[in-house]
Structure 1
Amino acid sequence: MSGWPPPTGAQPGLPSMDRIAIIGCGGSGKTVLARRLADRLGLTVTNLDALFYDEGWNALPQDKFAALQHELVAAERWLIEGNYASTLPIRLARADTVIFLDLPARTCLWGIAQRRWRYRGGQHADGVYDRITWSFVKYILGYRRTMRPRVTKLLAEHGRHVRYLQFTSRRRANQFLHQLDTAAQPGP
């Protein structure tokens, strides 16, 4: 973590991360990581699922969804979690940090099973959606083959200026949070 510029509006000792996009497959732990990171950096989390779907799982029209994201990224500081590759360039244009949770399908499937156990289905006030369908399971199983190449292409095209962090395990994401905690502690 050394060598990063001093934080803006964050705790002393933490790296400057003011506009963060967290992306990854369903069940990869985006929401959990976003909450934990937001607590450390004093940011508010925006969950894209909560913007995109209403209580009846009806999708917002694409133009309105994009307009909402343009408004969100205009802010000085934000943390937005969610994949939505079709609107990823909007977030990448203003992000200073992108965290890609690139976990194996079995880990993501375990993640949705844990979410089901915790939330018991439906939509929740914290932005978590617990909706498991066969098409969602197929999406998870094929994510690394179909979506990851699309996401990495978008990152290469629109995110050359961002700090890019790719975690391939939950353990590595937890180590990152621990490193932030260590960096935030006052020195001797």
Structure 2
Amino acid sequence: MRDRTGLPLYHLDLLWHRPDKTTVSEAEFDAALAEILRKDRWIIDGNFSRTLERRLAECDTVFLFDLPLADCIAGVEARIGTKCEDMPWIETEFDPEFREFITHFSETRLPNIYALLEKHRDKTLTVFHSRAECEAYEIPAAEA
């Protein structure tokens, strides 16, 4: 979406993780997020359910990737050994804890996301059920 809209992109994983695989404090994360939310226009990538309601309050548009589990697993596996812009290190293996998180995401996290989105019905919501849907999505002129 960044390349198609020209909007600045911020990855929550980069706010949370340090290059040495430790994490910042919640206060540091929240301060960095607040700085981003004060900007006029942005794209924020990531789940981080603790701050989702705050982000929903500030945004006008939500793109939700509700992908099949197999696609999510394949996406992570394809990134192993590759430098990715959203992480401060190169993954060398599929972290078992992260695999577990992904495996149960649709049962444990997704219902809460949809419930929060229901509370924020004033937002423009687009749900992608495949990467192909995202690729085919045409951005309205007002968003570009």
- Provide structure 2 residue ranges, at least 5 long, that are not aligned to the other structure: none
The one-letter code sitting in structure 1 at the alignment partner of 2:132 is R
Q: Distance in 2 between matches of 1:95 and 1:130?
A: 30
Within 5 A, what are the aligned runs for 1:119-158? 119=83, 126-128=85-87, 130-131=90-91, 132-157=94-119
Q: Max radius of gyration: which structure?
A: 1
- What is the root-mean-square deviation in Å for CA atoms of aligned residues? 1.7
Q: Distance in 2 between matches of 1:108 and 1:40?
A: 23
Per the alignment, residue 70 of structure 2 pairs with 106
Identity of aligned residues (%): 29
Q: Segments of 4+ in structure 1 off by > 6 A?
A: none
Are the equivalent residues in 2 in contact too, given 1:70–1:90 (CA < 8 A)? no
Deviation for aligned residue 1:170: 0.9
The one-letter code sitting in structure 2 at the alignment partner of 1:163 is T
1:169 maps to 2:133:
no
Per the alignment, residue 6 of structure 2 pairs with 42
Query: What SS does structure 2 have at the residue aligned with 1:59?
Result: coil
Range with bigger deviation, 50-59 or 148-157 = 148-157
Query: What SS does structure 2 have at the residue aligned with 1:118?
Result: coil
Q: TM-score scaled to structure 1, two decimals?
A: 0.68
Note closer, same or farther for the CA distance 1:52–1:115 as it changes in structure 2 (3 Å cut): same
Cα offsets for 1:105-138 (capped at 9, x unmatched): 111000011111533xxxx5x2235542111111
The one-letter code sitting in structure 2 at the alignment partner of 1:86 is R
Q: Distance in 1 between matches of 2:54 and 2:72?
A: 25
1:72 maps to 2:33:
no
- Provide structure 1 residue ranges, at least 5 long, that are not aligned to the other structure: 1-36
Are the equivalent residues in 2 in contact too, given 1:99–1:165 (CA < 8 A)? yes
Cα offsets for 1:31-59 (capped at 9, x unmatched): xxxxxx11221211101101101111111
Q: In the comparison of the two structures, how many residue pairs are matched?
A: 138
